Amino acid sequence: MLKIENLQARIEEKEILKGINLDIKPGEIHAIMGPNGSGKSTLASVLAGREDYEVTGGSVDFMGKDLLEMAPEDRAKEGLFLAFQYPVEIPGVSTTNFIKAAVNEKRKYQGLEALDAAQFLKIMKEKMKMVEINQSLLSRTLNEGFSGGEKKRNEIFQMAMLEPKLAILDETDSGLDIDALRIVANGVNQLRSKDNAFLVVTHYQRLLDYIVPDFVHVLYNGRIVRSGTKELALELEEKGYDFIKAEVEAANA
């Protein structure tokens, strides 16, 4: 589904991604872990098409298409979704109108009819239940004055509405208490199917207790330095990132 080869990217003059390789197949959940500043969020942003980053090398194939050639909105319509680490507050834009616009643009792209108000409402109710979000939140303007947990739940709700092929969760667990974490994870687990995939970017192992990954990768200094199964996450939790750093430095020495 997603094949990243030797991906390199920088922001201004700073090299951040120094050659990432990753292969994600339908039905899989991959976790990317790593210390602060290792390039985790950059990877998520580059995949979603944020223009602040310049891709300096490598390729990304998304379901047979060159992802890096696509505008951010087309990536989304092709089925890529980024749950933001810091969802943006947009005063004056109604959450419901925003989601309706997004859903209908995607449908148009797929050659489907736009949903009318009743159909949209029906689907919305269903998904609201799934991610345990209530109407009062959706009646407000987009993320304005939402708590950290509310913003993250809104991200997961949008994901549920858009039904992406590949969802990238960028530190969705940061700033969440244990209840919110459980709700977010439940949402993801319910959306999981053999046809879609998830890339979960996180600093802590905690989220992976709830969203169990098939593969865990450790990102350090712009490269994936270790890959393994969910046990790797537990090892990191136990030993901290220092042992990875030490290993890498020993190898480079």
Partner 1 sequence: MDATTILKNAFDKQNSNSTKLGAFHAENWNNFSAWGLPAIKHEEWKYTRIRNVFNDKMIVNNASGLDAAGVQQYLLPGQLAKNAIVFINGVFDASLSSIAEAEGTLVVKPLATAAEDEDAEFVKTNLGHSQRYHQDGINALNAAFAAGGVYIKVKKGKKVEHPVVIYHITDASVGFIFSQPRVLVNAEQASEVIILETYKKIGNDDSLTNEVIEICAAQDSIVNYIKIQDEGKGANHTGTTHIRQLAKCVTHAVTLTLSGNIVRNNLNMVMEAANSESHMYGLYLLNGETLADNHTIVDNQQPNCLSNELYKGIMDEKSTGVFNGKIFVRQDAQKTNAYQSNKNILIGDSASANTKPQLEIFADDVKCSHGCTIGKLDQDAMFYLKARGISEQNARALLLHAFAVDILDQIKDEEIRTYADQLISARLSYHF
CB of 27 to partner 1, least distance (A): 23
Applying CB under 8 A, the site for partner 1 has a residue count of 30
Q: Choose between 106 and 127: whose C-beta lies nearer to partner 1.
A: 106
| Part in contact with partner 1 (CB under 8 A); list of ranges 15-23, 34-42, 87-95, 210-218 | 87-95
Among 6, 97, 134, 229, binds partner 1 (CB under 8 A): 97
Among 33, 48, 60, 67, binds partner 1 (CB under 8 A): 48
Among 1, 4, 162, 188, binds partner 1 (CB under 8 A): 162
The 3-state secondary structure of the chain reads CEEEEEEEEEECCEEEEEEEEEEECCCCEEEEECCCCCCHHHHHHHHHCCCCEEEEEEEEEECCEEHHHCCHHHHHHCCEEEECCCCCCCCCCEHHHHHHHHHHHHHHHCCCCCCCHHHHHHHHHHHHHHCCCCHHHHHCECCCCCCHHHHHHHHHHHHHHHCCCEEEEECCCCCCCHHHHHHHHHHHHHHCCCCCEEEEEECCCHHHHCCCCCEEEEEECCEEEEEECHHHHHHHHHHCCHHHHHHHHHHHC
Among 54, 57, 69, 71, binds partner 1 (CB under 8 A): 71
Binding site for partner 1 (CB under 8 A): 48-51, 71-73, 75-77, 82, 84, 87-88, 90-93, 97-102, 105-106, 109, 141, 158, 162
